[in-house]
Amino acid sequence: MSETIDLPQERPQSPWRNVIVLVLAQAVLGAQMSMIFTVGGLAGQSLASNPCFSTLPLSLIVLGSVLSAQPLSEFMSAYGRRAGFILAVAAGAIGAGIAARALYVGSFGMFMVGSFLTGIYMSAQGFYRFAATDGVAPEFQPKAISYVMAGGLAAAIIGPQLVKLTSQAMVVPFMATYLAIIGLNLLGPILFAFLKIPAPGRRAKGTAHPGRTRRELLKDPVIAVAMICGMVSYALMNLVMTSTPLAVVGCGFDEGDAANIVSAHVLAMYLPSFFTGHLIARFGREVIVGVGLVILAASGAVALTGVDLEQFYVALILLGVGWNFGFIGSTAMLASAHSPDERGHVQGMNDFVVFGGVFLASLSSGGLMNCSSAGTAEAGWQAVNLAMLPFLVLAGGALIWLVMRPRETR
């Protein structure tokens, strides 16, 4: 009898049950990401000897996500979504604990280690949207993705409010925030106990992997353009959002204002999810991605007009809506372009590319914000938003190229 290894199967017993669990996970567990991106730059600034490195811990989160995306995807292909998600919340809790300890002892290096482990959780959260499509009919996939992403609406409320309650709750600023994040991650195993995606199937060991190779997948025009547009949408959102608290405080406003602006931004990221899937079904994936890129460009244009509180709000709200359309539309494009057997390869490659771009964006954000030639918060904020332009041109050009191709070649 030949040995067997795991292979994913389709058709979970209750797709709606899974969607509800994933919505709750996005809402409750996902709140930690808005908390971290609100205080992470400020906490890094308090620990770093050079202000140019203040957002480096946020970059380490994204790097952790980049490096864990493919292994986590393969792990879930072998052992199931639930096992992968529980592993990730454990890493998130440990990372938050290390970050809290780093704040207590004043260690920037230790803070970066904790941030890196948090990236494993961030990577897993990206797979919630893919898990929602497991075994779901193709016509329902965009809606399932949208419903799960809509769970971020609650995260947009929970996260910043927890920041307000915890950021100055202890003698060491922000330490209580990271302790609260540990508590959120401990809820993960309870939530995922209700996830009912079937265990992976079996195939004979030594048989060829079904589906296309990674190289063949990357040559698929729809997959390639979906990855580019998803990467640009997420990277530009991260580039600007990472710098926002530093820009707001640097322009004379307080941490409460920064938290409120981030809250409005995260609401704008997820509120459209209630109808994005319906818009995709009506107008098509490519159209919605294109609209998202246009809105991202509008966000940058508004940010360049000034640094009044109202301009921060409008720019960050547009940034959130543009990300929603661009990212969900790109995810729907990707989901339509591969078979179930190719899922592990495609999803891992996609998130490696997407979060690789996000890592580079977050790594650049602190330098653009704090080390501009003029040395002011206003000049840094302008540099951050001007940096969006070439990437929007790249994504827009790729999307136009795809749409102009004959339909039978896509």
Condensed to tens digits (0 to 9), the pLDDT of residues 23-82 reads 999 999 999 998 998 888 888 888 988 777 777 888 889 889 888 988 998 898 888 899
| CB 68 within 8 Å of CB 90 | no
* Whole-angstrom distance, CA of residue 5 vs CA of residue 219: 28
User: For position 198, what pLDDT does the model report?
Assistant: 65
Give just the sign of the alpha carbon dihedral 209, 213, 214, 218: negative
The values of phi and psi at residue 4, to 5°, are -125, 150
Condensed to tens digits (0 to 9), the pLDDT of residues 240-264 reads 988 888 889 888 888 778 878 888 8
* Whole-angstrom distance, CA of residue 103 vs CA of residue 354: 30
> Residue 13: is it exposed, middle or buried by C-beta count within 10 angstroms (0-12/13-18/19+)?
exposed
Sketch the domain layout of the chain as residue ranges: 7-200+212-409
pTM above 0.85, yes or no: no
Q: What mean pLDDT is predicted for residues 376-396?
A: 91
DSSP codes joined into one string, 37-99: HHHHHHHHHHH-SSGGGTTHHHHHHHHHHHHHHHHHHHHHHHH-HHHHHHHHHHHHHHHHHHH
Condensed to tens digits (0 to 9), the pLDDT of residues 295-338 reads 999 999 999 999 899 999 999 999 999 999 999 999 889 888 87
Per CATH, the number for 7-200+212-409 is 1.20.1250.20
